[in-house]
Amino acid sequence: MLRELSIENLAVIENARASFCGGFNVFTGETGAGKSVLIGGVNAILGQRAARDVVRAGAEKAVITALFDELSDEVRKKIEELGFSAEDELVLSREIFADGKSAARINGRTATASMLREIGELLVDIHGQHDNRILMSNDNQRDILDNYAGISEKIDAYRERFREFSRVSRELKKLSEEVEIRDLKIERLTATIADLQPLELEKGEAEQLEKELKSARASAKNAELLGSAYNCLTAEEGEAVLELLKIAEEKLAKVEECEKAEELRARISAAAGELSDVADELFNLSDEAAEEREARLSERVSAIKTAARKYNLDADELVDYLEKCENELLELNGAGDLTEELNEKRHALAEEIKKSASEISELRKNAAKQLSERIQEELAFLDMPNVRIFFKLTPEKITINGMDGVELMISANLGEEPKPLNKIASGGELSRIMLAVKCVLAGNDGVPTMIFDEIDSGISGRAAQKVGIKLRELSGKRQVMCITHLAQIAAKADNHLVLEKNTENGRTFTKISQPDFSGRVREIARIIDGSGSAESVAAAEEMLKNRDS
């Protein structure tokens, strides 16, 4: 709970410190003394937005520091989740600079405003002057009922499934809208894959093929020349050298009685043998497959270049493009299976949501009767004995909030038909209804500190007395702080803090004091009639002496 609050240079407060008890604390003071500034300081500590114009004129910055103790396990867990050590006490501080910037600290270590908010939600519940209007919203009325029913976790789980149902439904709708487009894509991808797959192209292959083709072309040219030379020596048709030499050798062999002819024949025979060897080597050097290899390579290189021009990609990019097309086609072809799968999932989620919504609705109905009765009991004590109030549940289309329309109905006077609260309740009635709701729900959350900023709006007399009693009763469960203008409420407090505004040297200063018994008598007497007359002093003394009754 909140034990100490220190404020420096916040609007009219130059330097003030307040200590709080664990029970019922009240703040009183003249209008404009700075009570709203005090609430603003607490809001700043809780991470709420702080405007730079709240910094006291002439000051560089405003500083607000708060000390909390008796930390719950939930608070300790949150502190550790945010990366801070959970000690026996918690110090939150906020600096608001005149240039609009701000700084936050948790136990002296730098933090963010959002961190303060996360922790603050578990520490303090502030009910501001205008928060009675919360009751005017049907959504808030439903939240009050759910809080009392203790089904927040169940509703969170339901909403998570509902969001999943919505996501699946959107995906199915999108798939349905894309059927025609998908068919066109499948046709295009199929044609592309049929065009590129036969190439069986690999990365780096095109460059290697160019090198091989260049080599093959050179080989083919050499093979042609070697073949021609070989044909000159060995051609079966025409006048081949070896054939002519053979004929010449045969002719010379028939020459008789001519030694020279025999010598020449022998030389021709030797030359024929040498040329035969040359022909054999020419045959071995010539590559009959060179032209065929050149043609094959030329055809493949041409096919790759044609595909590259067609798709405006280089050869390596064609490999990636083909893979992309194959994957996309696989995905599109699986869309039918996905649609069936999503339909099954959507149906299962729908059944699950319907069942959960029905269970939540039943829990709401059971809680609504109990909550209505308890609020009526509180209101009867708060001087609204004839009020009839209940939660009207109406079956509706299933939404993220379930299948119930929730509306708080009220009949403030006997004989009147109940009507929606947001249409007939007065300001004073709203204040007491909200207090009654807070009292009933006090045991349903772990927030240790409740701050009421003028919960007494629109009430007086006996009703104010009852509100004071109820706040004191509530302080037995929670630390309660209340800003009030009513003596009946101020007299019920365990701890009374007075805000006083003074002017010195043309500047306004507000200080916070914690008066003793006689000081409280004077302050309550001032509240009663503004003058502190003997009658009001006597009345104040009587109130304080009987504050437990």
Instruction: Work out the pLDDT band at 286, boundaries 50, 70, 90.
Output: low
| Mean pLDDT of all residues belonging to the chain | 82
Residue 103 within a domain: yes
Q: Identify which has the larger pLDDT, 28 or 330.
A: 28
Q: How many domains does the chain have?
A: 1
- Which pLDDT tens digit goes with each residue over 128-165? 656 666 778 888 899 989 989 999 889 999 999 999 99
Question: Is a pLDDT exceeding 60 seen at residue 216?
Answer: no
Mean pLDDT for 332-344 is: 76
Residue 508 within a domain: yes
Distance of CA 171 to the CA centre of its chain: 20
Predicted local confidence at residue 172, as pLDDT: 86
Q: Identify which has the larger pLDDT, 94 or 262.
A: 94
61 close to 55: Cβ distance less than 8 angstroms = yes
Instruction: Work out the pLDDT band at 354, boundaries 50, 70, 90.
Output: very high
Residue 126's beta-bridge partner residues?
451
- How far apart CA 73 and CA 78 sit, in angstroms, is 9
Question: Is a pLDDT exceeding 90 seen at residue 510?
Answer: no
Residue 70 within a domain: yes
Residue 350 within a domain: no
CATH number of the domain at 14, please. 3.40.50.300
Residue 453 within a domain: yes
34: left (phi over 0), alpha (psi -120 to 50) or beta: left
Q: Identify which has the larger pLDDT, 549 or 394.
A: 394
238-247, 339-348, 366-375, 460-469: which range is least confident on average? Answer: 238-247
Predicted local confidence at residue 3, as pLDDT: 94
* C-alpha closest to that of 2 among 478, 471, 500, 467: 478
Predicted local confidence at residue 226, as pLDDT: 47
- Which pLDDT tens digit goes with each residue over 50-84? 777 888 888 899 999 999 999 988 999 999 999 99
DSSP assignment of 154-168: HHHHHHHHHHHHHHH
Residue 54 within a domain: yes
Instruction: Find the length of the chain.
Output: 549
Q: Tell me which range, 121-130, 176-185, 368-377, is most confidently predicted by mean pLDDT.
A: 368-377
Using a 10 angstrom Cβ sphere, with 0-12 exposed, 13-18 middle and 19 or more buried, the burial of residue 506 is exposed
- How far apart CA 433 and CA 431 sit, in angstroms, is 6
Residue 191 within a domain: no
- Tokens 């007939």 locate to 424
Question: Is a pLDDT exceeding 80 seen at residue 205?
Answer: no
Predicted local confidence at residue 415, as pLDDT: 77
Q: Identify which has the larger pLDDT, 23 or 251.
A: 23
Angle between helices 290-311 and 205-234 (to 10 degrees): 150
- How far apart CA 478 and CA 472 sit, in angstroms, is 10
Q: Tell me which residue range forms the domain holding 85.
A: 1-123+447-514
Residue 548 within a domain: no
Using a 10 angstrom Cβ sphere, with 0-12 exposed, 13-18 middle and 19 or more buried, the burial of residue 20 is buried
Q: Identify which has the larger pLDDT, 454 or 536.
A: 536
Predicted local confidence at residue 297, as pLDDT: 67
